[in-house]
Amino acid sequence: MFDKGYNYRKVQVDKPKGEDVFLTKHIFVFVSDNHRKYIVWVEEYEYNMFIIKFHLKCHNKADDKYSRMTKFNDVTKVLRTCIDIMIEMYRKNPYSSFGFMGANMIDEEIPENKRYRVYRAIMKRFFSY
């Protein structure tokens, strides 16, 4: 099910601007089987903490870009791609720790929402803690 993700590439490293609190933002992109481009942000914080976020490129300007559903049925390959990026970052920095949040859907409560529960289950499968 999570055997293979998409091919991705690192396109940019950004420094914080304005009120940003991260130290560095690593930006990756990949294209799905249905020719949709995704952006993956890996924000690097103090103490080797990394937060991973992703969304469709066409939603880049939207305030709710992380809450939108795609209905493309490729979530396993998208999540596997994010995991592959995390593994690459970990290999470069074995002291790294990763965090994530699952954005709530429009009519969903924030704590322990569906996306968070799915992401947590997947992370338990791939990583020990």
Nearest to 42 by CA among 23, 18, 58: 23
pLDDT digits (tens, 9 = 90+) for 25-63: 999 999 999 999 999 999 999 999 999 999 999 999 988
Q: What are the beta bridge partners of residue 6? A: none
Positions of E strands within 4-124 = 8-14, 24-31, 37-45, 49-56, 97-99
For the chain, which residues make up each domain, given as ranges?
8-126
Residue 1 has pLDDT above 70, yes or no: no
Q: What's the pLDDT at 74?
A: 83
Contact 75, 27 (CB under 8 A): no
What is the rounded distance in angstroms from the CA atom of residue 14 to the CA atom of residue 40? Answer: 13
pTM, whole model, 2 decimals? 0.86
